[in-house]
Amino acid sequence: MQQHHIISTINIIVFSMIFIQNAEAVEPDKFENLLRVATYNILFQNNKAEEISSLIIRNKSDIILILEYNGHNIEPNSLRKAGYNIYIDHPRFHPGGIALIAHKSIHLEGSLLQSPVEGSCAMPLVVARIQRDDSTYALIGIHAPPPFHRCKNQTYSLLTTVAGWIYKGKLIHDVGKAKKGDTVILLGDFNIASFNPVLEVFNSAGLKDVYAEHHYFSTGTWSPVRWGLPLLRIDFIYMSNSLETSNAWHVEIPGSDHYGVLADILIEGNL
C-alpha cells in the first residue's frame, strides 16, 4: 500500500511538471516589441494537417520553423488566411523536408542552405534575416542528422560547424541571407539530448538555451513512440545572450513524436 502511494505521488509530480511547463503562454499582444518564434518537428508521415495548422494559428507565433514537412502535413491555405506567408517551401517525403513560415507583418528574407557537413544523413538548413528598425537578426533553423551508426559523426559535426559561425551571439561572416554581425537565433531539432556536453559549443559561442533559462526542471520534447511521454529534450531554441526573453514552453504536436518549442523574445524596434 505504501509503495502504491509513493508511485502515485511520483506520477502526480511528473504530470504536474509537464502541465506547468507546457502551459499556454501569455497573449503576444500584451507586450510591446515581442517576437514569438517556434520550432515544430511535425513528422513526415503525419496526416493531421488541419490540427497542426490550427495549433500554429492558435499559438500566434511570428516565425515558425517546420521540420519533416512533406507539403501535405500542414494546410498552407489555412495559414495564409490567418496572415502567414511561407518563405521557404521545401517539401520531402522523408525527414529532410523543411519550411519557414512567418506572419506577413514580419520583414524577413529567407534562403535554403545545403548542409555544411557532407554525408548520407545531411539535411538542409534555413537561414533568414529579420529587419527591425536598425537591428538585424539571423535566424538559423537546423535539423541535425540522427545519431545513428550510419550517420557516424554527422550530428556532432553539424552542431560544431554552426557554432563556429557565431561569436558573442553574432555571426562572424555572411551565411545565406544573413550578414556578418547579425544577432543570432538558432532553433530546430538538434537530435542530441540536453545533457550532452557537445551543446557547450553554443554556450561558448555566446548563445543561451531559452527553455532552460525559464525552467529549473526540464521536460522532454521527443518520445520513441507517438503515444508515449516525451523522454528526451532534443528540440531547442538558442539565442544570443544579449537578447531578453519573457517565456519559453513546449506544446504537444498532434500526430508527431515531438513536442514543439516556443519562445517570446523582447527585442528593440518596430516590425
DSSP secondary structure string, the chain?
Answer: -HHHHHHHHHHHHHHHHHHHHTSPPPPGGGSTTEEEEEEEE--TT---HHHHHHHHHHHT-SEEEEES--SSSS-HHHHHHTTEEEEEEE--SSTT-EEEEEETTS-EEEEEE--SS-STT---EEEEEEEETTEEEEEEEEEPPP--GGGTTHHHHHHHHHHTTEETTEESS-BTTB-TTPEEEEEEE--S-TT-GGGHHHHHTTEEEHHHHH-SSPPPSB-SSTTSPP-B--EEEEEETTSEEEEEEEEE-TT-SBEEEEEEEE-SS--
Please say whether the beta carbons of 166 and 183 come within 8 A.
no
Cα 197 from Cα 192, distance rounded (Å): 10
Q: What is the torsional sign of CA 213, 217, 223, 229?
A: negative
Q: What is the torsional sign of CA 102, 107, 111, 116?
A: negative
Give the pLDDT of the chain (271 residues) as one tens digit per residue.
Answer: 444 444 343 443 444 444 444 545 455 545 568 999 999 999 999 999 999 999 999 999 999 999 999 999 999 999 999 999 999 999 999 999 999 999 999 999 999 999 999 999 999 999 999 998 889 999 999 999 998 888 878 999 999 999 999 999 999 999 999 999 999 999 999 999 999 999 999 999 999 999 999 998 889 999 887 667 898 999 999 999 999 999 999 999 999 999 999 999 998 655 5
Amino acid at 46: N
Residues in the chain: 271
Give the strand pairing for 207-209 and 235-240. antiparallel
Q: What is 2-266's CATH superfamily?
A: Endonuclease/exonuclease/phosphatase (3.60.10.10)
Q: What residue segments make up the domains of the chain, in order of their start?
A: 2-266
Please say whether the beta carbons of 215 and 21 come within 8 A.
yes
Of 204, 211, 195, the C-alpha closest to 260 is: 211
* Contacts of 60 by beta carbon, 8 Å cutoff, 6+ apart: 27, 28, 36
Whole-structure pTM value:
0.90
Of 143, 36, 130, the C-alpha closest to 99 is: 143
As a whole number of Å, the CA-based R_g of the chain is 18
